[in-house]
Structure 1
Amino acid sequence: MDRKKITIVGAGNIGATLALLLARRETADITLIDINEGVAKGKALDIMEASPILGFNAHVVGTGNYEDTAGSDVVVITAGFPRKPGMSRDDLLFKNYEVVKSVSEQIKKYSPEAFVIVVTNPLDAMTYTALKVTGFPKERVIGMAGVLDSARFAYFISEKTGISVENIKAFVIGGHGDDMVPLPEYTTVSGIPVRKFLSEEELSEVIERTRFGGGEIVQLLKTGSAFYAPAASILEMVLAILWNKRKILSASVYLDGEIGKYYGATGLCVGVPIVLGKEGVEDIIKLELTDEEWKAWRRSVDSVRNLVEKLPL
C-alpha cells in the first residue's frame, strides 16, 4: 500500500505526540522536521522503537532538511515560540510570524499540493500568514483551534454533569484567544440541549474555564503549554481530510464573499463551523446566533483583525 505522507514541522511536545498518534493509527508515513535535527531524529527513532510493541508499520523519520519533506499530502505547522506564564498569545505575534513565514515558503517550494494545518499561536493570525505566504487555495489552509476549544468545553461539561464525554458535543467559534465564543445553544448532551443539565451559573463557570483553558495549563506547567489535547485535535482534522470523513468541525479558515459578509469577517481567518473532507474545507456553515453571541463574536473578530493588521503582509 502506498501510504500518504505527513510532515510535522516542529518536534516539540505537540509535534512528537502527534507523530506517535498518527503512527499508531497507521494514517501515513511521517516526517518530523525541526531546526534542531538531533531532536527530530531522536524522537522519530524513539517512536519507531515502540512500533514492535504497539504494532504499527507506519514509518517516522526525523530531519532538519526541507528536501526530505517533498511531496507531503499534509503539513502541520507546530513550530514557534511557546507561551510562557504571563505572556498573551499576542506577545508571540512577531516572533512566530517570522517562523511561520519561513516554514510556509518551504512548504510552497517542496509540497505545493499539500493541505496545511496551522497550530502556532496566535493561531488565527498565523493561519492567515500561512495562507498568504503559500498562496494556496483557501480550502487547503486551516487553523486548528476550534476542535481543541470545543474538546475542552465538552470535557468541562462532562466533569460538571458526570455524564460521559462520548455523549457531549460542544461547539466553540471565534478567534483562538481569551474572547473565543463557546456556544451553549449548539452544545448538546446526547442530542439534548446542555441547559437541561446545567444551571446558567454552572454554564457560565464552564464557559469561563473554556476561554482560559490554555492559560490554565500554562500556569500549571510553568515551562510550556498544552500538547496532548492539541495533538489529538490535529489527529481528528488529519483523519477527516485523508479519510474523507466530511466532519463538521470548528476551525480557523479564510472568510470572504457572502460567508465573509455574513460573519462580518471578510479577509480574515477566524474559527467557524466547516465541513472537512478530502477537498479540505468543503463548506462553511452559517449559524444563527443570539444578540449576545453576535456581540461576543464581533469582539472576537476585532481581536483577530487587530493582530492581522499589525502583520507586514
Structure 2
Amino acid sequence: MKITVIGAGNVGATAAQRIAEKELAHEVVLVDVAEGIPQGKGLDMYQSAPVELFDTKIIGANDYSATEGSDIILITAGLARKPGMSREDLLAKNAEIVKSVTEQSVRKSPNAIIIVVSNPLDVMTYVAATVSKFPKERVFGMAGVLDTARFRTFIAMELDVSVQDVTAFVLGGHGDSMVPVVKYTTVAGIPISELLPKEKIEALVARARHGGIEIVNFLKTGSAYYAPSSSAVEMIESIVKDRKRILPCAAYLTGQYGLKDVYCGVPVKIGRKGIEKIYEIKLEAEDLKSLVSSANEVKENCSKVTL
C-alpha cells in the first residue's frame, strides 16, 4: 500500500505521521510546493520510526514523480481559514489549488482512491471528482467523520462520560449548514433525548456546527488539524484494512434523500474499493429539510467554480 498526502501543512503532515505510526502503508509520500518543507518534515517523521517502532517509509517531494502508483491520495492542500473567514471565502483560490494537484496526481496514479480534506470540503470534492474523471465511489470527502467527532466530544464533555460510548451522525455539507441528527444520537444505546433537555441538545448542535471556527478563533493564525487528520486517517484505515466501516462522508448522491448530482455528507460503507454503499436512513422531516437545504448550498457554491 502506497499513500500520497498532498499538502505538508499541519493537517497533511499530521495525517502522514498517523498513517506511518499505524503502518497503514509501506510508503507515504508527502508532497508540497514549498521547497524543502515536505523533505524536512518527511525526514523528521522517518527518524521517529526507531522510537515509535514503525517501518513505513516517508518521502518528501515537490513534484509528483515519487507518487507514482499510489493506492490512496489524500488532498489537504489549500489555504487555511482565518478568523472572520467562512469556508466559502476559500472557494476560488482553493479550487485552483485542488484542480492543479488532482491533475498532477492522477496522471501518476490512475487507479487511486481520492479523499479530499481541503475546504470548502464538499465543493473541493466536486472539483477533484470532475477533474480526475474517476468513478464517484473512488472520490469522496472527509466531512461528517470530523463533524461527528466534534459533536460526540461535546456530548461527552457535557455528560462527563467516555467519548467511546457516544454514537452520532452529522450529515450535510461541511459548514454552518451541517445537520447533526439528534434522532440517531445515543450514549451507550440510550437516546440523548433521555439524558439532556431539548435546549441543552440544541446548544450542543449549535456548538458542533461552529466547532471549526471555535478553534480558528482560539488559534487566530491557523485552523484545526489534530481532529481533521485523525478523521481522514480513520477513513484511510477502513480502505486499507477493508474494514467496511459505516462513516458519514461527502459522497456523490444519485437520488438518495431526493438529492442528485451533488456531493453531500451521508452515511456510507467504506472498504478496499472506496465507497461500497450509500445508506439512506429515515430522517425526521426537519432534518431532511435541513439536509436538502445544505445540499442546495453546496450546489450553489459548485456553480461558482470554473474548471
Which of 274, 285, 288 is matched with 1:291 structurally? 285
CA distance in 1, matches of 2:240, 2:21: 15
Which of 112, 133, 136 is matched with 1:135 structurally? 133
Residue pair 1:47, 1:60 contacting (<8 A) in 2 also: yes
Aligned counterpart, 1:26? 23
CA distance in 2, matches of 1:277, 1:20: 22
Aligned counterpart, 1:95? 93
Which of 6, 10, 14 is matched with 1:13 structurally? 10
SS in 2 for 1:37: coil
Residue pair 1:5, 1:74 contacting (<8 A) in 2 also: yes
Residue pair 2:263, 2:295 contacting (<8 A) in 1 also: no
Aligned counterpart, 1:56? 54
Q: CA deviation at 1:153?
A: 0.3
CA distance in 2, matches of 1:295, 1:266: 15
Sequence identity (%): 49
CA distance in 2, matches of 1:164, 1:193: 15
Question: Structure 2 length normalisation: TM-score?
Answer: 0.98
Structure 1 residues 251-291: Cα deviation after superposition (integer angstroms, max 9, x where no partner)? 001111xxx2x323211111010001111100000111111
Report the AA paired with residue 3 of structure 2.
I
Q: CA deviation at 1:79?
A: 0.2
Aligned counterpart, 2:297? 303
Structure 1 residues 115-151: Cα deviation after superposition (integer angstroms, max 9, x where no partner)? 0000000100000010010000001001001000000
Aligned counterpart, 2:104? 106
Aligned counterpart, 2:175? 177
CA distance in 2, matches of 1:83, 1:292: 30
Structure 1 residues 197-236: Cα deviation after superposition (integer angstroms, max 9, x where no partner)? 1111110110000000000001000001000000000110
Tell me the matched-pair count.
306
Structure 1 residues 58-106: Cα deviation after superposition (integer angstroms, max 9, x where no partner)? 1111000101100000000000011111111111100000001011111
Q: What stretches of structure 1 of length at least 5 have no aligned partner? A: none
Report the AA paired with residue 23 of structure 1.
A
Aligned counterpart, 1:71? 69
Q: CA RMSD in A?
A: 0.8
Residue pair 2:102, 2:132 contacting (<8 A) in 1 also: yes
Q: What stretches of structure 2 of length at least 5 have no aligned partner? A: none
Residue pair 1:37, 1:62 contacting (<8 A) in 2 also: no
In the TM superposition, what are the counterparts of 1:246-257 in structure 2 within 5 Å? 246-256=244-254
In the TM superposition, what are the counterparts of 1:211-290 in structure 2 within 5 Å? 211-256=209-254, 260=255, 262-290=256-284
Q: Which 4+ residue blocks in structure 1 deviate beyond 3 angstroms?
A: none
CA distance in 2, matches of 1:134, 1:98: 14
CA distance in 2, matches of 1:253, 1:298: 14
